[in-house]
Amino acid sequence: MAENKRYIIMISGRQIEVNQEIYQAYYGIERHARTLDEKDQCHGLALYSNLDTPELSGEAMIPDRDAVSTEDAAIARILCETLHRCLALLPESDRKLLQAIYFEGLSERELAEQSSVPQSTVHDRRRRAIQRLKKFF
């Protein structure tokens, strides 16, 4: 009797006869999807797609955590302007030293080789220049 049993699934509104293995796989996947949906509803899951409007998708309403806020951008700009004003108050030798290390990316060792002075001297000059800069800042 089990041999004569027909297995039919509905696909796009059409009845398709399949074997038992395909039938069980098809409805197993479908039941699993329904179970997941039921669990989501039970746990209060809200989909952003439920917030879609004709003008805006729900996903567009998700805040970008990596975006810089307007306030942070304004503070960074003010600090940058203050730093440049304070740098202008330093002696030219200190300004050039800090420019090379912090803005051009040279290491103390590279700067020492270029200027033919010991690396420890460059380190001490950098430290003193930073101390002066802190006083102005």
| Mean pLDDT within 41-59 | 83
What domains does the chain contain, in order, with CATH numbers? 1-43 (no CATH), 89-136 (1.10.10.10)
Question: How many Å apart are CA 130 and CA 116, to the nearest integer?
Answer: 22
State the pLDDT at residue 74: 94
Question: How many Å apart are CA 39 and CA 18, to the nearest integer?
Answer: 30
Give ∠ CA 18-22-24 in degrees, rounded to 5. Answer: 115
Strands 14-18 and 7-11: antiparallel
> Rounded to whole angstroms, what are the CA distances from 41 to 33, 34, 37?
12, 11, 6
Nearby residues of 89 by Cβ (< 8 Å), 6 or more positions away: 136
Question: How many Å apart are CA 44 and CA 22, to the nearest integer?
Answer: 33
Q: How many CA atoms lie within 13 A of 67 on its CB side?
A: 6
Question: How many Å apart are CA 112 and CA 119, to the nearest integer?
Answer: 5
The 8-class DSSP code of residue 56 comes to -
Each residue of 68-124: pLDDT tens digit? 888 989 999 999 999 999 999 999 999 999 999 999 999 999 999 998 999 999 999
Most confident of 25-29, 50-54, 64-68: 25-29
- The 10 Å Cβ neighbour count of residue 98 is 20
Percent of the chain with pLDDT over 70: 98
